[in-house]
Amino acid sequence: MNELVDEVYATLKEDLDKAYSHQQSEYLVIRAGRANPHILDKIVVDYYGVPTPIVQMATVTVSEARILNISVWDASQIKNVEKAISASDIGLTPNNDGKTIRLVFPMLTEERRKEIVKQVRKICEETKIAMRNVRRDAMDMLKDMKKESSLSEDEFDTCEKEVQKIVDRFTDSADKLAEDKENEVMKV
């Protein structure tokens, strides 16, 4: 068609991909009853006055299905890491043996699983709202092109359908991702 339309499609896909990637990263942090090192991704520790993510100052390993071991490289920082984990909203109590911090993931109750599923659905809905906003922006650009006579009425209709197809593909992926996460959470 023309370069401007291709640019609209490229921007649309890039922005939709950002929304989808954000959904994926949010799901990595959700606790599903088994040890997941990504739960620590958003926790930062005051490391000599600099806010530092735990993964940049320790080795995080899964020793058993429900136990996460954190080996802090600078032993003087173990207490700070422990405090940061306790202050976070992950809902786990760190156990410190002087060398290693252990996080034991308790088995999830049915009630807690349902709460997590609600959280998963909420994140999915927020992602789809972001995707609809991206679609609106793309459609606004196409409408402007139509006003400026860069696009004919027929070309505009074709572009509108193509934008909707692209958005539908991404929203289907978002729904599938949410469904997979729900199944993971509900699996005992």
pLDDT tens-digit readout, 10-54: 999 999 999 999 999 888 877 666 777 888 888 888 888 888 888
Beta bridge partners of 100: 71
Give the C-alpha separation, 32 to 181, whole Å. Answer: 9
In this prediction, residues 115-133 reach a mean pLDDT of: 93
What confidence score (pLDDT) does residue 63 get? 81
Own/partner pairs, 41-46, CB within 8 angstroms, 24+ separation: 42/88, 43/84, 43/85, 43/88, 43/90, 44/84, 45/77, 45/80, 45/81, 45/83, 45/84, 46/80, 46/84
Q: How many CA atoms lie within 13 A of 179 on its CB side?
A: 6
Paired tokens of 100: 């290693």
What confidence score (pLDDT) does residue 42 get? 81
Paired tokens of 31: 């606790």
Give the C-alpha separation, 10 to 24, whole Å. Answer: 21
* Strand ranges in the chain using DSSP code E only, listed in sequence order: 44-47, 50-53, 58-64, 67-72, 94-96, 100-104
This prediction's pTM: 0.74
Does the structure show a pLDDT above 70 at 188? no
Give the C-alpha separation, 63 to 1, whole Å. Answer: 56
In this prediction, residues 119-123 reach a mean pLDDT of: 93
Site of tokens 């993931």: 105
CB of 82 closer than 8 Å to CB of 94: yes
What confidence score (pLDDT) does residue 33 get? 67
In this prediction, residues 155-175 reach a mean pLDDT of: 93
* Total residues belonging to the chain: 188
- Structural domains in the chain? 3-29+109-186 (1.10.132.20), 37-104 (3.30.1360.40)
What confidence score (pLDDT) does residue 28 get? 80
